[in-house]
Structure 1
Amino acid sequence: MTYLLSPKVDFVFKRIFGNEKHPDILISFLNAVMKPKDLIESVQIRNSDIEKEHIEDKYSRLDIKAITNKGEYINIEIQVKNEYNMIKRSLYYWSKMFENQIVEGDNYNKLAKTVCINILDFKYLKNDKFHNAYRLKEIDTNEELTDTMELHFIEIPKLRKLDDSEEISDMLEAWVAFIQSPESEVVEKLEMSKKEIKEAKSQLLKMSVDSKDRYMYEKRKESILEKVSLIESAEQKGIEQGEYKKAIEIAQNAINNNLDENTIQLITGLSLEEIKILKNEK
């Protein structure tokens, strides 16, 4: 039995949601995220190609760029590991998209609404909402300065537990459920009532049985895992350095309180040589 590829891997996500032959999937997703008064009716996908070198490069971005029929510039990125820089990263990519709309001498009125959507497979923001949207607003009155800038953060682990017996009316919940677990009973039920979900599942099934797609998927997973491993190694190094610094502080405090070296070694885990050095530095 062939298992389904995970839409949380950016290669798969881009092939489904950034597919020029199936724009209804992206249109539905954007309407679910942005919830505009006038629904998006069509999209122009700008970077549908996926180069082989991007698949194997752990630092490459397989994001989706598109322009809506209303002239809005959209960037969508999915991340599986917290790199602790998503806010600034998103602001940076937003600014590049915004800037690249005009050249020197153009009228600033040409600058269109620019939206960055970040899908995260980890908890990042400090609230319990699985979807947060940000614009520029006045601090005291909350008056909106402009809707030209819009940043979205969708945190998959914060989605409430969905029951396959309920009718899911919120389309964003439906899409996040699909990204999170496309083989779940919830998604199987959604396929019967949401044609875009059914279309996305169909594309995922085609990819999952295609040997070339599976090969590229495995290569991309390897690249992502390598990057995750590097991040986790850096995290562990930071923890170890922090723990060592804390042990030094405890030892210095113990020395100041005239505790003997053996006791200090017991409570800090430092060597007697390290403790002697700290004593001499006192």
Structure 2
Amino acid sequence: MCTQLFDPKVDYVFKNIFGSEKHPRILISFLNACIKPKEPIVEVKLKNTEITKEYIEDSFSRLDILAKTSTGELINIEMQRADERNMVKRSLYYWSKAYISEYTGKGAYANLPRTICINVLDFILLEEEKFHNKYLIQNASNNNLLTDTLELHFIEIPKMKDIDESDLLSIWVGFLEDPNNEKVISLERKVEELQEAKEELARISRDPKEAENYRMRENARNDRLNALLSAEEKGERKAKLEIAKSLKGILSDEIISEKTGLSLEEIKSL
């Protein structure tokens, strides 16, 4: 019987595939595809591998992946499916936390590592055409690089319209979007790490215990989304009431109702 695969964009599943000590080749392949370093990454050490039951159930928990390369670079990866209107600043915050995590207070600042944050997003964030954009600290007048210590990547999955077989990052994004995509399936024979990721996804999807964890994480996410929507609705209603109050005496209650969407009873009570 064919197993229905979990969505690899669910952060719990994403971390189990790309942040597994049992499958370092998957993460190395993804990092080389995204960062495209001059010298390919050949080894990584994961620094946050544990996923507790409380971590899964807590909708505010961030299931990110933090890895250190053999050359000392720190790389933080986050899979984010919902736009919470704070992605850029949150990425800078996570970068700063990772950056200072190596500082013991005794060494020189010069020893602080090059730190990279990779944000994989299932929504459109930036006013850029490409699905993958990299940001650095550069001189505003001549684009000279100040330092390569900070590097932020944003991968916007919805912007990629088709898989480019010549671009490994495009292939990985295609896998995240739809692991059963015909082109992804055909590429599994060519890209060993992709096949390994697909096999691990299938294993997780067949495991009853993992299925329960998947369900709990999805429930936690839905609870958080509902809370955010409720907060937005309350904020919108408050703004409408303030607008209606300012228009009282200027426009008729009927027109105010039409413009704000509030009922006549609500407007008359102001």
- Using the size of structure 1 for normalisation, the TM-score is 0.89
| In structure 2, distance between residues paired with 1:206 and 1:171 | 23
| 2:45 aligned with 1:44 | yes
Q: CA, structure 1 residues 249+46, in 2 after alignment: closer, same or farther (shift >3 Å)?
A: same
| In structure 2, distance between residues paired with 1:47 and 1:215 | 22
Cα deviation digits, residues 222-252 of structure 1 (max 9, x gap): 1111111111222222333333344444445
Q: How does 1:24-103 map to 2 (within 5 A)?
A: 24-103=25-104
Partner of 2:199: 202
| 2:217 aligned with 1:217 | no
Q: Following TM superposition, by how much is the alpha carbon of 1:49 offset from its aligned partner in structure 2, in angstroms?
A: 1.6
The total of aligned residue pairs comes to: 268
| In structure 2, distance between residues paired with 1:179 and 1:225 | 20
Partner of 2:166: 169
User: Which runs of 5 or more residues in structure 2 are unaligned?
Assistant: none
Partner of 1:280: none
- Greater C-alpha Rg: 1
Cα deviation digits, residues 40-80 of structure 1 (max 9, x gap): 01100111121111000010111101001111001111111
Partner of 1:271: 264
Q: How does 1:172-251 map to 2 (within 5 A)?
A: 172-251=169-248
| In structure 2, distance between residues paired with 1:79 and 1:41 | 26
Percentage identity across aligned positions?
45
Q: Following TM superposition, by how much is the alpha carbon of 1:261 offset from its aligned partner in structure 2, in angstroms?
A: 5.4
Q: 1:137, 1:145 within 8 Å by CA — same for their partners in 2?
A: yes
User: Which runs of 5 or more residues in structure 1 are unaligned?
Assistant: 255-259, 278-282
| In structure 2, distance between residues paired with 1:66 and 1:118 | 14
Partner of 1:257: none
Q: CA, structure 1 residues 25+248, in 2 after alignment: closer, same or farther (shift >3 Å)?
A: same
Q: What is the one-letter code of the residue matched to 2:46?
A: I
Helix, strand or coil for the counterpart of 1:224?
Answer: helix
Judge which range, 267-276 or 49-58, deviates more: 267-276
| In structure 2, distance between residues paired with 1:72 and 1:104 | 19
| In structure 2, distance between residues paired with 1:104 and 1:180 | 42
Partner of 2:106: 105
Q: What is the one-letter code of the residue matched to 1:271?
A: L
Q: 2:6, 2:13 within 8 Å by CA — same for their partners in 1?
A: yes
Q: CA, structure 1 residues 242+37, in 2 after alignment: closer, same or farther (shift >3 Å)?
A: same
Cα deviation digits, residues 6-57 of structure 1 (max 9, x gap): 1111110000001111100000000011011111011001111211110000
